[in-house]
Structure 1
């Protein structure tokens, strides 16, 4: 029997496996994906949001705990567990040396990368390099790894983990860490969660999945059926406005459209529907998928002019390009008269002060709804560009309630040998909203906690069993 079973293959699962192995436990990690697709959504990441009180290696200036907390509080609108959130924040300040010890390398923030040089440490080679480094380290330390091993059932004795099942194969362990993501790749569950809107549409039918196709939520549904305490709202997610031409799965970061705050966004009726300049893009980019999901047909269009070019990370695929706004409207399939009325109203409303996209500047609108509160400049300089957007789901926030030991709870009581980490419990910290890099902060913090807790539980159980054997002898 293995000491610790880790179910999942992304950042949180790997952190748990490494910590448990370092603590002296035998560890088996089960990854549902084939080896080539290992790593879950972590393969698509770039960085980790980090608290620091002074400049540190790749991080400039300071990003203290209270500022990190206020950023999180703002994007979640208070829907967060402060104790667990601050645990994540503090853990983000001291995890990088441990990460380096397992082969992860960092690099400074790229120019134009969402103004994150102060707040986020970027992985050299991106999330795929991080995942590969962790797998190499795990193999070197003796962690057993199995690919194409989707667990479809958990065997419990009350609130205690007993075994996991892969089809007819039973795998027993002294403790277990669940780190196998949300349910965003289960199209039926998304449809069930979002339901039908007042227009008779099923919004989820038009969602694209930015991440792995293997996050089907199988064990999340299984644990909820076993009576595990839930956390979060099934419709809340890290949901980004992405290129409507993106693939159904695994489009990743390259499908994101990052010029929203530099232009205007209209729905298919050519109407604006939200403040594009509400706050810095890293704090607001993950609300736009949900905003688009609430529009007719779950589609929108971002429009910029030549003044915006060079001020944002360009998308992989070029959008529509035109020398006149009417021509752009035709290319986007929008009603020309309505589109021109919307743009004319916006342009007239712009009060241009000193434009500076690196701060909350004084360029704003007056007399138009919705307002644009920062970076508002007329769309008047050709060529004009338009990007068609769809909601892109990264991960869902419905998950399992936990505590500062990463234990799964049943009826308010923590299990003593079943733990949870990563996206499967992120809803404890993220009730809604998102800020860049915080998902990896949560996964790293709770992956390490879960691995430590699982090893402690397993080794204690092993000692008790050995003691019982000696007593019988």
Structure 2
């Protein structure tokens, strides 16, 4: 019998597998995707949000625990477990040497990401390189890996893990870590979560999936139906406004439209609907998918002029370009008169002070609803640009309730040998909202905890701690 079974193939699963193996346990990892698509949503990540009390190689300045906590508190609106959140924050200050031991490399942030130079450590080669490094390390240490093995059921005995099933295959283990992701690629579940709006629309029908197509939530649904304690709102997710022309799955980071704070965003009626300058983009980019999802037709349009060019990470696909605002409205198929009226009203309301996109500057609007709090400058310098936006779901927040040992709970009681990490429990920390890099912080912290705790259970059961092969 295997000691520790890890179900999943992304960052959290790999951290769990490596920690359990380091502790001497034999480990089998089951990844639902084929080898070429391994890694789940982790392959699309770029960085890790890190607490640090002083400069550390690629991290400048300091980012202390309390500031990190306040940033998380603000974006979640208080819908978070402070004890578990602070556990993640503290763990983020200690994990990088361990990551580097397993082949992960870091680099200074590129231009276009300088707002997070102090708070986030960027992976050399991005998430795909991180995933590949972990898989190489796992294979070298004797972790067994099975691809194309989606788990559809768990055998339980009074909350205790017995075995996992993948079709006709059955996998027994002394302990198990669940890290199989959320349900973002399950369209029917998204429909159930979002329901039908007052316009008779099913918003989820217009969602694009930024992440992996393999996260259908089969294991999450099974566990909830089996009596595991759930946490989180199924409609809450990491939901970003992305290019409306992005692919249905796996568009990743390159589909994001990052010029929102430099202009205005309109709905299909050519009306503004939210403050584009509320806060720095890394703290607000993940609210815009949900905002667009609440608009008619689940579509929005980011409008900028020539003054914004060069100040944001350019999108993969060029936007619509026009020499006049009426021409841009026609190209975007928006009502021309309302479009021009909305932009004109915004321009007239701008009170331009000292523009500084690296600070919460004093460029704002007056007597305009919704306001634009920072970086408000008239959109009056041709050419003008427009980008159509759709909601892009990265991962969902509905998950399993845990404690600080990453244990799955049944009726409030923690399981002896069943643990969970990553997206399947992120809702304990992320009730809503997001800030750049915190998903990787949660996955890394709880993946490592789950792996270590699973190995500890094995040692208690067998009295043996095998050395790594």
- The two structures have a TM-score, normalised by structure 1, of 0.98
Query: Matches of 1:111 and 1:277 in 2, distance apart?
Result: 20
Aligned to 2:247: 247
Aligned to 1:196: 196
- Summarize the alignment of residues 262-301 of structure 1 with structure 2, pairs less than 5 Å apart: 262-301=262-301
Q: Gaps spanning 5+ residues in structure 1: where? A: 465-473
Aligned to 1:421: 421
Matched residue of 1:132: which SS? helix
Query: Matches of 2:114 and 2:38 in 1, distance apart?
Result: 27
Matched residue of 2:185: which SS? coil
Moved more, 107-116 or 266-275: 107-116
Following superposition, the deviation at residue 459 of structure 1 comes to 2.1
- Summarize the alignment of residues 35-46 of structure 1 with structure 2, pairs less than 5 Å apart: 35-46=35-46
Aligned to 1:75: 75
Matched residue of 2:463: which SS? helix
Matched, 1:144 2:167: no
Aligned to 2:135: 135
Query: Matches of 2:45 and 2:273 in 1, distance apart?
Result: 29
Contact 1:350 / 1:366 at 8 angstroms: preserved in 2? yes
Query: Matches of 2:144 and 2:357 in 1, distance apart?
Result: 48
Following superposition, the deviation at residue 113 of structure 1 comes to 1.3
Q: Gaps spanning 5+ residues in structure 2: where? A: 465-469
Following superposition, the deviation at residue 462 of structure 1 comes to 2.3
Following superposition, the deviation at residue 60 of structure 1 comes to 0.3
- Summarize the alignment of residues 97-176 of structure 1 with structure 2, pairs less than 5 Å apart: 97-113=97-113, 115-176=115-176
Q: Which runs of 4+ in 1 moved over 6 A?
A: none
Aligned to 1:232: 232
Aligned to 1:467: none
Query: Matches of 2:114 and 2:40 in 1, distance apart?
Result: 23
User: Alpha-carbon deviations, 1:348-403, whole Å to 9, x = none?
Assistant: 00000000000000000001100000000000000100000000000000000001
Contact 1:114 / 1:281 at 8 angstroms: preserved in 2? no
Query: Matches of 2:91 and 2:452 in 1, distance apart?
Result: 14
Query: Matches of 2:365 and 2:106 in 1, distance apart?
Result: 40
Matched residue of 1:115: which SS? helix
Following superposition, the deviation at residue 114 of structure 1 comes to 5.6
Following superposition, the deviation at residue 19 of structure 1 comes to 0.1
- The two structures have a TM-score, normalised by structure 2, of 0.98
Following superposition, the deviation at residue 463 of structure 1 comes to 3.0
Query: Matches of 1:195 and 1:461 in 2, distance apart?
Result: 46
Aligned to 1:357: 357
**What RMSD over aligned residues (CA atoms) do the two structures have, in Å?**
0.7
Query: Matches of 1:116 and 1:159 in 2, distance apart?
Result: 42
**How many residues end up aligned between the 2 structures?**
464
Following superposition, the deviation at residue 169 of structure 1 comes to 1.1
Query: Matches of 1:287 and 1:458 in 2, distance apart?
Result: 42
Query: Matches of 2:292 and 2:316 in 1, distance apart?
Result: 20
